[in-house]
């Protein structure tokens, strides 16, 4: 046993006495979905820890755990890791409880007893770290059995190829490759190169330690990357997450919807909006017949530098109208609110044959598929329909766990609340908020768009100070 591990394990964790810890298999499922590889890069598991054996206190630790967890998820993290070891990392299970409402949490520690696993489950963890380097100090197979009994995911960690046989016998739900040697605390940046070729391809791989740049640079076999120290070193959380997962959008999306005439198109074009939406659903109070829509598009297409044109459809719109709309619009927005999952996917696949970009519109309270067809490039989440109306201000973190698409906030957005309700989203969709007397209003369009972008500029300034 290494000096560091012996020193660490000499400090026993103080654990609460728990009874009847409940099994919850959905946690394992949610964690594995969250760490599945994203488009072009591994998923990010963002870590919360307060210290390390070599760093007594992080500069960024002035940000409270709940606030950090929220900002991680809003910026692009898919899951979180929380270190609970109290002596060298200053952690606690309370941090797991605080973080788990925002995304699936990996409870990370040097676990050698089943009681520690019970605590992880009790405080809300979705997964538990199991370190093969501890195999000489405890019966890892008994601990693995307890993880399985509680319905949690087991992230089994190795550092050297010699540990892989034990790791695979533990039947990992995911395999972590720690580039830090726990015997010496030194980093081997090539550790994953030695291990990856030996791992069965069906096992998700998580690369850990000493990651400070874009995740696209990691091996393409990596499902996820666990990053802690780099993220904890500063309070500029959003910028650090973006360094890992990619740059923010060059400009955020503002879709002005419910436009009904060529004049509305002209008024919208004078704003900084990126998208103009026209509703082709006959049951809508903002309905525009397809022939009127075609004439609107013809007129505005004669000009330069126009926003993208969006045709809004649902399952009641005929195939003929859908084809006509796809020939005129830059993208189709399919309203699937209250639709069953299988019917939703079938309709999306039908629309995909039209060779046009697709956005999906859903309710914030709606049951939706874990994975969307690749033809879906954006998801509009409506907080006014299909729910209680009490979800205003909700962040997009839960939706980012499974989806890589653009996430656009809709419902109840006005000049008074646009700064609050748009926070963390890739853009907004506004209809009633730009209307006066039930019709699109040029002044309201311009003012709401101005407020949205000025709020974004303030956020950038605040991050840089």
Cβ neighbours of residue 272 closer than 8 Å, sequence gap 6 or more: 254, 449, 450, 453
What burial class does residue 383 get, using C-beta atoms within 10 Å of its C-beta: 0-12 exposed, 13-18 middle, 19+ buried? buried
Whole-angstrom distance, CA of residue 143 vs CA of residue 279: 56
Q: Are 177 and 197 in contact (CB under 8 A)?
A: no
DSSP assignment of 233-264: T-S-HHHHHHHHH-PPPSS-EEEE----SHHH
Residue 283 and residue 174 share a domain? no
**Domain region containing 27:** 3-245
Q: Which of 218, 245, 272 is the last residue of a domain?
A: 245
> pLDDT per residue over 148-176, tens digit each?
999 999 999 999 999 999 999 999 999 99
Is pLDDT at 24 greater than 70 in this prediction?
yes
> pLDDT per residue over 292-348, tens digit each?
999 999 999 888 778 899 999 999 999 999 999 998 998 999 999 888 888 999 999
Residue 266 and residue 199 share a domain? no
Residue 166 and residue 101 share a domain? yes
- Residue 452 sits in a domain whose CATH number is 3.20.20.70
> pLDDT per residue over 267-290, tens digit each?
999 998 999 999 999 999 999 999
**pTM exceeds 0.75:** no
Both structure tokens of 237: 């959380």
Residue 257 and residue 194 share a domain? no
Q: Which of 189, 211, 245 is the last residue of a domain?
A: 245
> pLDDT per residue over 343-380, tens digit each?
999 999 889 888 778 999 999 888 777 778 767 888 99
Whole-angstrom distance, CA of residue 371 vs CA of residue 458: 34
Residue 263 and residue 181 share a domain? no
Percent of the chain's residues with pLDDT above 70: 92
Residue 267 and residue 238 share a domain? no
> pLDDT per residue over 45-88, tens digit each?
999 999 998 899 999 999 999 999 999 988 889 999 999 999 99
Residue 177 and residue 282 share a domain? no
> pLDDT per residue over 29-42, tens digit each?
889 888 887 656 88
Both structure tokens of 50: 């307060």
Residue 238 and residue 257 share a domain? no
The reported pLDDT for the residue numbered 11 is 82
Total domains present in the chain: 2
Both structure tokens of 131: 């370190």
Q: Are 360 and 380 in contact (CB under 8 A)?
A: yes
Whole-angstrom distance, CA of residue 96 vs CA of residue 109: 12
Residue 263 and residue 201 share a domain? no
Confidence of residue 192 (pLDDT cuts 50, 70, 90): confident
Q: Among residues 58, 117, 68, 60, which one has the least CA distance to residue 93?
A: 117
Residue 372 CB-half CA count within 13 A: 29
Bridge partners of 379, per DSSP, are 360, 407
Residue 158 and residue 279 share a domain? no
Q: Which of 228, 245, 262 is the last residue of a domain?
A: 245
CA angle 267, 269, 273 (to 5 degrees): 110
The reported pLDDT for the residue numbered 251 is 56
Residue 181 and residue 63 share a domain? yes
Higher-confidence position of 387 and 345:
345
Residue 229 and residue 197 share a domain? yes
The reported pLDDT for the residue numbered 390 is 39
């Amino acid at each position: 046993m290494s000096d560091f591990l012996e020193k660490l394990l000499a400090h026993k964790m103080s654990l609460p006495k728990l009874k009847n810890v409940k099994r919850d298999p959905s946690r394992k499922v949610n964690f594995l979905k969250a760490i599945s590889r994203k488009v072009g890069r591994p998923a990010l598991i963002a870590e919360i820890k307060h210290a390390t054996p070599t760093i007594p206190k992080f500069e960024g630790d002035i940000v409270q755990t709940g606030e950090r967890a929220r900002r991680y998820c809003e910026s692009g993290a898919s899951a979180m890791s929380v270190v609970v070891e109290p002596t060298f990392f200053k952690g606690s299970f309370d941090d797991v409880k605080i973080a788990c409402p925002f995304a699936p949490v990996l409870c990370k520690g040097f676990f050698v007893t089943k009681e520690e696993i019970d605590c992880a489950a009790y405080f809300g963890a979705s997964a538990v770290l199991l370190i093969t380097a501890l195999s000489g100090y405890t019966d890892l197979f008994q601990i693995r059995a307890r993880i399985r009994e509680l319905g949690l995911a087991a992230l089994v960690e190795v550092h050297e190829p010699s540990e892989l046989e034990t790791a695979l016998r533990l039947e990992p739900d995911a395999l972590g490759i720690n580039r830090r040697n726990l015997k010496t605390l030194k980093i081997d940046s090539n550790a994953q190169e030695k291990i990856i070729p030996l791992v069965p391809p069906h096992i998700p791989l998580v690369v850990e330690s000493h990651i400070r740049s874009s995740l696209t640079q990691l091996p393409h076999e990596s499902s996820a990357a666990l990053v802690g120290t780099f993220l904890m070193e500063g309070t500029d959380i959003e910028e650090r997450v973006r360094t890992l997962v990619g740059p923010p959008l060059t400009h955020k999306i503002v879709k002005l919807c419910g436009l009904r005439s060529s004049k509305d198109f002209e008024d919208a074009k004078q704003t900084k909006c990126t998208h103009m939406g026209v509703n082709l659903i006959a049951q809508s109070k903002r309905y525009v017949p397809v022939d009127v829509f075609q004439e609107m598009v013809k007129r505005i297409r004669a000009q330069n530098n126009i926003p993208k044109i969006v045709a809004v459809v649902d399952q009641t719109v005929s195939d003929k109208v859908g084809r006509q709309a796809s020939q005129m619009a830059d993208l189709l927005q399919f309203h699937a609110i209250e639709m069953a999952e299988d019917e939703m996917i079938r309709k999306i696949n039908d629309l995909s044959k039209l060779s046009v970009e697709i956005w999906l519109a859903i309710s914030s309270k709606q049951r939706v598929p874990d994975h969307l067809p690749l033809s879906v490039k954006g998801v509009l989440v409506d907080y006014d329909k299909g729910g209680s109306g009490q979800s205003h201000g909700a962040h997009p973190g839960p939706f980012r766990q499974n989806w890589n698409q653009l996430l656009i906030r809709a419902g109840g957005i006005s000049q008074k609340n646009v700064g609050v309700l748009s926070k963390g989203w890739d853009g907004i969709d506004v209809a009633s908020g730009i209307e006066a007397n039930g019709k699109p209003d040029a002044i309201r369009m311009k003012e709401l768009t101005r407020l949205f972008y000025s709020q974004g500029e303030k956020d950038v300034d605040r991050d840089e100070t």
